[in-house]
Amino acid sequence: MFDYNKAFSRNIWLVSLEEQEKIKNFTIAIPGMGWVGSNHLIALVRQWFQNFKIADFDEYEIHNFNRQYWAKIKNIWKNKAATMIDEVLQINPDCKIELFDQGINPENIDNFLDGVDLSVDALDIFVPKARRLFFNKSHKKWIPVITAWPMGFSFAGAIMMPEGPNFDKYFCVDDNTLDEEFILHFALWLSPSLLHAKYMRNVSLKNKSWPSSIAWVLAASSFIVTNALRVLLWWEGLKPLPYSHQFDYRKNKYVCNKLLFWLNTPWQKFKLKIALKMVSKKS
């Protein structure tokens, strides 16, 4: 029979028994169960979290096979979120997971975030409106948000705390921002040093083409898990927005940037203009 304490006993001394009891009671919301969300979920489950709300309307397809662990022949055309529930319960049958198999939208976002202690962004890079909804609604409900996204052979991440400005302010977007501009604002904010820029190719926002590799995924999940503990247990060392974090494995380099004026400086605006021009040529 399953024994929770035995199953996760090796985590003790990294977190205290008192902290462990707290971890068991937190609820984490993760929209998106693709390459990032599925790995974030499993990593959080193995770190003893056991209450989740997950959302995804998508199904597994053959083009997912290069980076998604649960993209297998037997799972083709199965809903990703429903598949992940089965996987999670094989690790910890005591987990409680609420499924939103139609994704998130303005009609269900309040229900999705009710009772949530932490939001983890795992939405596809090409759904900017859903990302804006998720971040801003989390902020309004006083829920911290953590994100970690692919940038070549690196990950770029950030933590948005509720006491700071909302998503629109940080990423300089509004109702009139075009999708392509929105995606570039988000990507440039997370990785202002552009460590990946010289070797990352074939980015097409129009065709929704974003090069991907399994290499960065586990590192991104490590960022998510560590900062989930840092936020929820009030550990030291938290560096939320306006800080952004990028570690590039190809260049073996880590940078932590602080953008005091968001993307409103002339230099950042210039980089946005160049990036938009480059992507437009490839689209």
What is the model's pLDDT at position 249?
86
Domain 12-282 adopts which CATH fold?
Answer: Rossmann fold (3.40.50)
Give CA separation, 159 vs 30, 33, 106, 146, 226, in Å.
Answer: 14, 20, 23, 4, 11
Q: Report DSSP letters for 235-249, one per residue.
A: -S----TTEEEEEET
pTM beyond cutoff 0.95: no
131 or 280, greater pLDDT: 131
Residue 203, both tokens: 């980015």
C-beta separation of 247 from 149 below 8 A: no
**pLDDT at position 144:** 98
pLDDT digit string, tens, across residues 86-98: 889 999 999 999 9
Distance, C-alpha 120 to centroid of its chain: 5
